[in-house]
Amino acid sequence: MANSSSIPHFLLLPLPGTRQLQLLHFCLFLAIYLAALLGNGLIISTIASDHHLHTPMYFFLLNLAILDLGTISTTVPKSMDNSLRNTWDPPTPHPDAHTRCVSPVFLFFFVFLIAAEYFLLTTMSYDRYVAICRPLHYETLLGSRVCVHLAAAAWASGALYALLHTANTFSLPLCQGNAVDQFFCEIPQILKLSCSTSYLRELWLLVVSGCLVFVCFVFLVVSYVQIFRAVLRIPSQQGRHKAFATCLPHLAVVTLFISTGSIAYLKPSSISSPSLDLVVSVLYSVVPPAVNPLIYSLRNQELKAALSKLIPGWFQKQ
């Protein structure tokens, strides 16, 4: 490939290791993917079918489940296909190598879904703040139209964010080929292929993105500080337990998502390695969609009750 050339796609390298390890990777990702499909599918079906769950909190949870399904479906199936069909050691050519190329569409959808999920989680913290700190104004501040507008703003912001990143990333001149040493097309890995003086635009965009992420993070922290202060003032132990039960799942999801994503994009290059990059990328792009339904269902009595009504109905129809 000529130096300083722009290309329309990237080639995903197969994961290192023996054929047995690659098949193990396929089986592990298949199990995680099926768990994510089942968990998020049940949440979507339960919320959509039970009118008692047609409230702002579950409306946002429905959107989160849809985003999780999209995120894991963008990355994992392609990686499983590569592991299952790979029978060569890099960099030996293979006639099916074109099937491992990733176009701008894949990168756009991944960044779009990840960014929209982050904005949606920020919106969900506002929902929890209003529900606990201003319960008398809950229906006024979070009516159905407001909820739709907030969810639409999260999706639209994610799309705009992804469009900027995708257009800028695929316009970068690449001096080190187009082979991405990752199981999906990830921006930090693409930057490693760019010319030393040409990726400043993308780095600047990442800095701006970091500022935006920081603002959302501050909003999350302030919201939960106010929430915990309000909860601790509740005189009834049962009331405090119920308030914590509605907040802790969201807080756990936010913590997992932000911590792993921050490590993936902000870790110093001096400690970067293929194995570490792989583990961190799995933690923020693959694990959350699979465990989010479990986190929400374990402490949510309303969701578990609605799910118990839905599943017997399915069995009766079989």
Instruction: Quick: pLDDT tens for 87-104.
Output: 434 444 444 443 445 667
> Cis bond leading into 91, ω under 30°?
yes
Is there a contact between 286 and 239 (Cβ–Cβ < 8 Å)? no
Fold for the domain defined by 10-311: Rhopdopsin 7-helix transmembrane proteins (1.20.1070)
Q: Average model confidence (pLDDT) for the chain? A: 79
Distances (CA, A) of 129 to 153, 221, 237, 253: 19, 11, 19, 16
pLDDT at 69: 95
Q: Mention every residue, 6+ apart, whose C-beta is less than 8 A from residue 290.
A: 32, 33, 35, 36, 39, 72
pLDDT at 56: 92
Query: Which one, of 163, 65, 64, 160, lies nearest residue 105 by Cα?
Result: 163
Task: Using the structure block, give the residue that is written with the tokens 């008398």.
Answer: 136
Q: Poorest-confidence range of 37-46, 111-120, 197-206, 297-306? A: 197-206
pLDDT at 294: 86
* Predicted model pTM: 0.84
Q: Mention every residue, 6+ apart, whose C-beta is less than 8 A from residue 106.
A: 74, 78, 184, 185
What are the E-state strand segments in the chain? 10-12, 101-102, 179-180
pLDDT at 129: 92
Average the pLDDT over 111-139 and give the result.
Answer: 91
Is there a contact between 257 and 121 (Cβ–Cβ < 8 Å)? yes
